[in-house]
Amino acid sequence: MSGHQGSAIGAQLRGSARTALLDAALALVRKQGWAATSVQQLCAAAGVTKGAFFHHFASKEALGIAAAKRWSDVTGLFFANANYHQLADPLERIFGYLDFRSEIANGPLEEFSCFAGTTVQEVFATSETIRAACGESIFSHADRLADDFRAAIKLRRLRAAVTAESLAVYTQTVLQGGFLISKAKGDRAPLLDAISHLKRYLALLFKEEPGR
C-alpha cells in the first residue's frame, strides 16, 4: 500500500479501542507476520490495555477474523473511489485498475501489500476461521473485478474460452504472487513486472493492439 493509500485508509481506522486494535493488526501483520505479532504488541501499538483487548476480542484469532473483514471494508472503499471506475470501456477499467495498482506500489513493502494474503500464508493450516476470513477478503475483491471482466467479454471476442470469474481470480493470483516475490527480493520490481506481464496477456487475450 502506498503512503497516500495508507493515509487515506488510516484516517478511516481511527476512533475507538476496537478500531485502533484492528489498525494495529493491519499494520503490524503486514510488516512482521501473524505469528510474530503478539497481543502485547497490538495493545502497545493501539495505545490500549490488555483488558481493552479482551473486552473487544475473545482471542487473537477473533481479532484476526475481524481484521480481515476490516481490511475488506477499508480497501474496498479505497478502490471504489479510484478514478479508473469513470472509464466507459470495461476492459479499459481493468487496465486502469492494474495501472492504479502500480501507482500505489510505493514506500515500504508492508504499506502496499495485502493483510489477507500475508496472514493466510501463515494460518491456512492452523486456523480455519482466519483462513476463511482471509479467503473471503481476497475473493470478494476478485468478485468486484469479475463484473468488469464479464462486461468486457460481452464486448470482445477472446482468443481462448475463459470465464470472468477465472480471470478475476487469476488477477489476484498474480498480485498476491507479486507481493510475495517482492518481499523475497526486498523491492517492488517483481510486483511491477508481474502487473506488466498480466497487462500484456490480457491485451493478447482480448485481441487488443500490442504495446499496451
Tell me the pLDDT tens digit for each residue of 26-48: 999 999 999 999 999 999 999 99
CA atoms within 13 A on the CB side of 95: 19
pLDDT at 157: 81
173-179-181-184 Cα dihedral, nearest 10 degrees: -150
The span from the CA of 59 to the CA of 37, in Å, is 13
Superfamily of domain 3-205: Tetracycline Repressor, domain 2 (1.10.357.10)
Task: Kindly list the distances between the CA atom of residue 30 and the CA atoms of 6, 17, 27, 119, in Å, as whole numbers in the listed order.
Answer: 12, 20, 6, 8
Q: Three cell numbers at 80? A: 471504489
Tell me the pLDDT tens digit for each residue of 131-141: 999 999 999 99
Amino acid at 159: R
Tell me the pLDDT tens digit for each residue of 77-117: 999 999 999 999 999 999 999 999 999 999 899 999 999 99
Q: Three cell numbers at 5? A: 493509500
pLDDT band at 4 (very low <50, low <70, confident <90, very high): very low
State the average pLDDT over residues 143-148: 96
pLDDT at 59: 97
State the average pLDDT over residues 68-74: 96
pLDDT at 207: 83
- Residue ranges covered by each domain of the chain: 3-205
Calculate what percentage of the chain has a pLDDT beyond 70.
Answer: 91
Using DSSP, state whether 92 is helix, strand or coil: helix
